[in-house]
Amino acid sequence: MAGVNKPDPARRSERSRQAILQAARELVSEVGYAKVSIEAIAARAGVGKQTIYRWWRSKGAVVFDSFLALSEGGDASDGDGGSVVLPDTGDIEADLKTVMRATVAEFADPGFEAPIRALNLEIVNDPELAAQYRDKLAAPVDEAKKARLRSAQRAGQIAADADLDLALELLYAPLYQRWLLRSGPLTPQYADALVDLALKALRP
Amino acid sequence: MAGVNKPDPARRSERSRQAILQAARELVSEVGYAKVSIEAIAARAGVGKQTIYRWWRSKGAVVFDSFLALSEGGDASDGDGGSVVLPDTGDIEADLKTVMRATVAEFADPGFEAPIRALNLEIVNDPELAAQYRDKLAAPVDEAKKARLRSAQRAGQIAADADLDLALELLYAPLYQRWLLRSGPLTPQYADALVDLALKALRP
Amino acid sequence: MAGVNKPDPARRSERSRQAILQAARELVSEVGYAKVSIEAIAARAGVGKQTIYRWWRSKGAVVFDSFLALSEGGDASDGDGGSVVLPDTGDIEADLKTVMRATVAEFADPGFEAPIRALNLEIVNDPELAAQYRDKLAAPVDEAKKARLRSAQRAGQIAADADLDLALELLYAPLYQRWLLRSGPLTPQYADALVDLALKALRP
Amino acid sequence: MAGVNKPDPARRSERSRQAILQAARELVSEVGYAKVSIEAIAARAGVGKQTIYRWWRSKGAVVFDSFLALSEGGDASDGDGGSVVLPDTGDIEADLKTVMRATVAEFADPGFEAPIRALNLEIVNDPELAAQYRDKLAAPVDEAKKARLRSAQRAGQIAADADLDLALELLYAPLYQRWLLRSGPLTPQYADALVDLALKALRP
DNA sequence: CGATAAGCGAGACGGTACGTCCCGTCTTCCT
DNA sequence: AGGAAGACGGGACGTACCGTCTCGCTTATCG
């Protein structure tokens, strides 16, 4: 549990940890990731700077953990949780369009967009954070998506021998790229077109 | 010429400009983008800090321009130039695999990878730089790629009504994403698989 | 002029220098030397910390200079100034007692005592400051005292071949030691006894 | 035994006490008094910080005790001891010169000088330590010196009504001052001159 | 053609934040 | 209960850069 950045010998103050993560979250949404400083996080959390440096490697690690904690806190109560489930109406095309339109909508919401962009930025030049991101945040979602694709395979809507990782990239990478580089409009129509094209490629 | 960021009253010292761009390039490759400071650029270029602030908005703008100047210096002699040409053997599949394998190879070379990653990072949270990037660096290359695809359309290898921008994204975005997020291995086989899949989607 | 701690290339801001010295003086008398921090001086002076570090080696150096400036500012208007003059009634015993009783009184005044004690502390483990102290603060006073003793030599009240430096130490060192180590009461009677004893030693 | 700074309920660990004092001594001579920290002492002694704070008021108190323990350990075996005895050849002048030349030599030895300077520094702004210093370290030595002077009084070499405390100051304060402030050379000749002058003042 | 104003190097300046060192207090767990 | 261990909130350190601001000194244009 929690994004491990340094060894955690249990002597750690949970109260401080929570205060730091909350302060980080608040500050990122108030002033933007770039303008958040460790000093400010410590001050807001009512914590010595050393307490942050003791447990995290960098500002990026703190902010990352603060998001992580949020996503972990948000799921069901059944133990480890985080079991994402996607709609499965039997119609893979319709389901994918639903999901991808939702993603497009998320990217359009500045309240979502800004922190995620910051997170991605941090991930780009910190391989260790990137690994954590994949394992803790991306993996569960990707797994759910692949589960839906597998279901489509069983239904004969997608080639049985398709590489699902690649399929996922085919669907989502264009969207991700447009968003990150702002290289084109992100519309529901775009999402639909993407699904159509990708499904054509994946057809049996 | 060059991504102008501030008004340029011709009184500008070309010698200083070149020194600054070169210093920026050197420093980025020596210590990495994040650790480059405007002070360091000024010092290395033998230039007053003000001279940098006078002509560029930010560190990102300087570094960006330094890359831009490099790419502009490297192309053909015909004026503004930059006319990229891709191979056209008549076999779109073979040609795309050639080009994408080359891209994979570039991404694998740390000497190329590091500065490009820095550039992408800077672009991600500076829309203005992003626009410049698209116009000055990405556009010519994309245009060449689309030209090749158009040629394939004429040859009936690709659907005549295919959206070429989307086609380009389908081909390159997965590769870009894997590279940027380090979310998977970048191999020639991967490039090939991507081409196969994308072409299947684009088939008439 | 001014206690030189670093080279002074004239580009220096006199306004900042004065603000720093004044802030140092105020803080020392408000919270005591030990509790003064460079950070606090900078804040009070409305100055960046770097501006202090640029021109002074240490807190001790700043505080020292702040005292120095005071003593320099306090003397006559004739140029370099600082020409201390002691009473010369022709009676060396009476004159010395007057001067040493005054010194005793100074040491008894907490407003004087505290900063001087701090200054001495700083001097004790900083040979460079000690040298400055001797040259800029002690020397003029000592010179005046020796002038008075020389006058007494001419009047035949003191041996013509007496070592005046040693004579000064004989008179003042006991007083200094009692004050610094608090090893005994500092009274006018003590001053008188000291003068009597020293003069006996110096008699022709 | 030892300069007690806090109540001592006998539950105290002698092993820890010794380790702390030794660590303090070592560190002072290795890095200098100013750079010694309580944390460093605790770490070197293999002791919790609290154990130091429990038994001493301050770094100064620890260091002081560490010196004290050293001087107590060094003297004769008769219990509390510390009975210093000075040479008494019958010639007060010769004896004083011997003793004071020895003091000069001590001050010249950096191995002695540094810790004593540190000790004096600490004493200067801690009246409580100063009192302890006088009682435990200075008093025995001063008593021995006064004993020698008293013997000289009996021999008629020194005025019978001389104030011996003042006499001691007359002899030693100039030396102490020169050493502490580095205000002049400390040579055997200087010691001799001092004795000559002081004896002249003390003559019957 | 000489004044005059801009660009320029240099770098001081008021600031913010960094990451580190210690402070003195505290809590935990062991002996 | 004392002690080893060390986390904690906090204050200050000395450093790196930020972006702005003077300084003199070219230099290149225009009255």
How confident is the model at residue B82, as a pLDDT?
A: 53
pLDDT in tens, A173-190: 999 999 999 999 999 999
How confident is the model at residue A7, as a pLDDT?
A: 53
Residue nearest to nucleotide F19 (CA to C1'): B53
Stretch C129-157: mean pLDDT: 93
How many angstroms separate the CA atoms of B121 and A121, rounded?
Answer: 6
Q: How distant is the Cα of B154 from the closest Cα of chain A, in angstroms?
A: 20
Stretch C170-183: mean pLDDT: 95
D166: chain C residues, CB-CB within 8 Å: 174, 193-194, 197
CB spacing of C165 vs D184 below 8 angstroms: yes
Chain C 45-64 residues in 7 Å CB range of strand E: 46-51, 54-55
pLDDT in tens, B18-51: 999 999 999 998 999 999 999 999 999 999 999 9
pLDDT at A56 over 90: yes
How confident is the model at residue D78, as a pLDDT?
A: 41
CB spacing of C174 vs D170 below 8 angstroms: yes
How confident is the model at residue A81, as a pLDDT?
A: 47
C near D: at least 3 beta-carbon pairs less than 8 Å apart: yes
Would you call B181 an interface residue with chain A, using a CB distance cutoff of 8 Å?
A: yes
pLDDT at A77 over 70: no
How confident is the model at residue B80, as a pLDDT?
A: 45
How confident is the model at residue D20, as a pLDDT?
A: 96
How confident is the model at residue A8, as a pLDDT?
A: 60
Q: What is the mean pLDDT of chain B?
A: 89
pLDDT at A88 over 70: yes
Which band of pLDDT confidence, cut at 50, 70 and 90, is reported for residue A100?
very high
Fold designation for C14-73 = Arc Repressor Mutant, subunit A (1.10.10)
pLDDT at A150 over 90: yes
Stretch C96-114: mean pLDDT: 92
How confident is the model at residue C158, as a pLDDT?
A: 96
What are the sequence ranges of the domains in chain D? 14-74, 92-202
Q: Please list the helix, strand and coil fractions of chain A in percent, rounded to the nearest 5, in that order.
A: 70, 0, 30
Burial of A53 (0-12, 13-18, 19+ CB in 10 A): middle
How confident is the model at residue A74, as a pLDDT?
A: 54
Chain C 29-48 residues in 7 Å CB range of strand E: 46-48
How confident is the model at residue D1, as a pLDDT?
A: 41
Residue B129: closest CA among B4, B30, B31: B4
Q: What is the mean pLDDT of chain A?
A: 89
CB spacing of B181 vs A125 below 8 angstroms: no
How many angstroms separate the CA atoms of A49 and A47, rounded?
Answer: 6
Instruction: Tell me which CATH homologous superfamily contains domain D92-202.
Output: Tetracycline Repressor, domain 2 (1.10.357.10)
Count A/B contacts: CB-CB distance under 8 Å.
Answer: 97
How confident is the model at residue A160, as a pLDDT?
A: 95
* Of A22-31, B78-87, C174-183, minimum mean pLDDT range: B78-87
How confident is the model at residue A73, as a pLDDT?
A: 63
B191: chain A residues, CB-CB within 8 Å: none
Contact assessment for residue A104 and residue A38, using Cβ atoms and an 8 Å cutoff: no
Q: Which amino acid is at D103?
A: T
- Residue listed under structure tokens 């994204």: B169
Stretch C92-109: mean pLDDT: 95
* Of A106-115, B135-144, C70-79, C80-89, minimum mean pLDDT range: C70-79
Better-predicted residue by pLDDT, C72 or A160? A160
Contact assessment for residue B138 and residue B82, using Cβ atoms and an 8 Å cutoff: no
Residue nearest to nucleotide F23 (CA to C1'): C11
pLDDT at C10 over 80: no
Q: How far, CA to CA in Å, does C9 sit from each of C6, C13, C14?
A: 9, 10, 12
How many angstroms separate the CA atoms of C17 and B39, rounded?
Answer: 25
Nucleotide nearest to A57 (CA to C1'): E19
pLDDT lower than 70: segments of chain D: 1-10, 73-83
Stretch A161-180: mean pLDDT: 96
How confident is the model at residue A115, as a pLDDT?
A: 85
How confident is the model at residue B81, as a pLDDT?
A: 46
pLDDT in tens, B66-121: 988 877 765 444 444 457 788 999 999 999 999 999 999 999 998 888 888 888 88
DSSP C158-178: S-TT--HHHHHHHHHHHHHHH
Which band of pLDDT confidence, cut at 50, 70 and 90, is reported for residue C153?
very high
Q: How far, CA to CA in Å, does A191 sit from each of A97, A104, A185, A201?
A: 7, 7, 10, 15
Class of CATH domain D14-74: mainly alpha
Other C-beta atoms lying within 10 Å of the C-beta of residue D9:
6
pLDDT in tens, B139-173: 999 999 999 999 999 999 999 999 999 999 999 99
Q: What is the mean pLDDT of chain C?
A: 89
Q: Which amino acid is at D196?
A: D
How confident is the model at residue C121, as a pLDDT?
A: 85
Q: What is the DSSP letter of B104?
A: H
Would you call B116 an interface residue with chain A, using a CB distance cutoff of 8 Å?
A: no
Q: Which amino acid is at D114?
A: A
Of C138, C181, C198, the CB nearest to D130: C181
Chains interfacing with C (3 or more CB pairs < 8 Å): D
Supply B116's token pair. Answer: 């490009």
How many angstroms separate the CA atoms of A26 and A64, rounded?
Answer: 13
Residue A4: closest CA among A71, A69, A51: A69
Other C-beta atoms lying within 10 Å of the C-beta of residue B123:
24
pLDDT in tens, A106-146: 999 988 888 888 888 888 888 988 998 999 889 999 999 99
CB spacing of A124 vs B124 below 8 angstroms: yes
Contact assessment for residue A155 and residue A92, using Cβ atoms and an 8 Å cutoff: yes
pLDDT at B54 over 60: yes
How confident is the model at residue A159, as a pLDDT?
A: 96
